Each structure stands twice: as C-alpha cells, then as structure tokens.
Structure 1
C-alpha cells in the first residue's frame, strides 16, 4: 500500500496540513495566547508566569492529540512540520512583541526543538499504530 492510497491524494494532505495549522494556532490562543499577566507572590515578591501549570499541561495534551490525529490520517512528516512551525511562529510573534531583552529568540529555539522532537515521536507512534487498528 502506498502513502497516497493509504492517506488520500495531495489535496487531502494539503487540507489536512491546513487543519493541523489551524488547530495548532487555536490551541496556542485557547490555552496560552490570552494570558500575559505575571503572578507576584505577596510574601516573597517573586514573579512567575505568565502561564499557570494547568495551561501548559492542557496545551501540551491538546498538541499531543493533534499529533495523534495527524499521524493516523496524514502522511507522517506533515503533522510534525506543520505543528512545529505553526506553534513556534504564533508563540514567537507574541513573545517577540512583548520582550525587550531579545531572549525570546532562545525560547523560540528551545520551543522549536522540543516541539519537533515531541511531535515527531507522537506522530510516528500513531502512524505505526495505524497498521494495527481495525479498519474504519
């Protein structure tokens, strides 16, 4: 079975890539994009944030779900590439506009590598598992 027969033609893959991009951007906005306030501990005065732990965990689990669905339905290289570029891009746009130090570039690099590795592992696992699932 070829990739084309297993997953649909190029137009289906393009539509799937667009769906991954939109879902990834919506994930960033839904979990993280709206929050730009830091929390200050009243006792120590230490600031943290802007994200809470639950936001990051929820965002990560949603990205895993996107990678799994992408791995089950698309050519295996599409979800990691699209997810990584989209999420890093939207995060970088936000971070770059808010950071005067320029350190957002380091964060973007770390985010890019983490997303690339993580989404590749998840998508590959889903792609591999697809052959063991009952037909739809």
Structure 2
C-alpha cells in the first residue's frame, strides 16, 4: 500500500470517527428543556454531553496525531465533525442561527484538533 492510499484510508477512518463521535454524544438529542419557573429554554445538549464529546474528539485527535501528521488529522476531524453538526442543525433550526453555531463549531473544533494532534505529534517526535 503506497503512502497516498494510506493517507486516504486514514482520512476516511478519521472522518468516520468524527461523525460517530458527533452521533454518540450529540446527534440523538433533539429535545429542549423549559424551566417551569422562569420559562427559560435550554438545550438540546446537556453539559455532560458536550464535555464527553470534546473529550472523545480530543482522544481521537491525540491518538491520530501520535500516528499521523497533524496537517491530515486536524482538517479531516474538523470538517467531518462540523459537517455532521451543521447538517443536523440546519435541518432542525428555523431561526437561521445554526450558521452562527456552525462557525463556532468549525473554529473551536479546528483549534482544538490542531493543538491536540500537533502536541501529540511533537511529543512522539521528541521521544524519538
């Protein structure tokens, strides 16, 4: 297997991992919570779901960054996760605010996966 084939296969596995992470933590939850005293609406995600999602993506980025180049890991995880989140949000939001959320998810995921995969790759290189 040549290096291009390995890179494409790695990118496919990373994309599947990103979408699976989104689905496992966030994709199934579409309900909103209304506080009966204040009438405030929150959701659809609970803090524990977002924390679990972030930690899972960080773990995937760290393992992938250890084994692969960060220039492959960060863009694939970022685009795949953001796409999964965006498709779902756009289909369930009538206000149009999903676009703002998508931009925030893109930036946050991009920064996080770049830092984590880059740091893991750097540690591996220094350990020699």
Q: TM-score w.r.t. structure 2 length?
A: 0.94
CA shift digits 1:65-104 (9 cap, x unpaired):
1110110111221111001100110111000011111111
Instruction: Tell me the residue number matched to 1:12.
Output: 6
Distance (whole Å) between structure 1 residues aligned to residue 52 and residue 108 of structure 2? 16
Paired positions, count: 127
Q: How does 1:54-93 map to 2 (within 5 A)?
A: 54-93=48-87
Q: List 4+ stretches of structure 1 deviating above 3 A.
A: none
| Contact 1:13 1:75 survives alignment (8 Å) | no
Name which structure has the greater RCO, CA cutoff 8 Å, separation 6+.
2
Q: Structure 1 unaligned segments of length 5 or more: list them.
A: 1-7
Instruction: Tell me the residue number matched to 1:25.
Output: 19
Aligned residues: CA RMSD: 1.3
Greater radius of gyration (CA): 1
Higher helix share: 2
Choose which of 33, 41, 46 in structure 2 pairs with 1:39: 33
Q: Structure 2 unaligned segments of length 5 or more: list them.
A: none
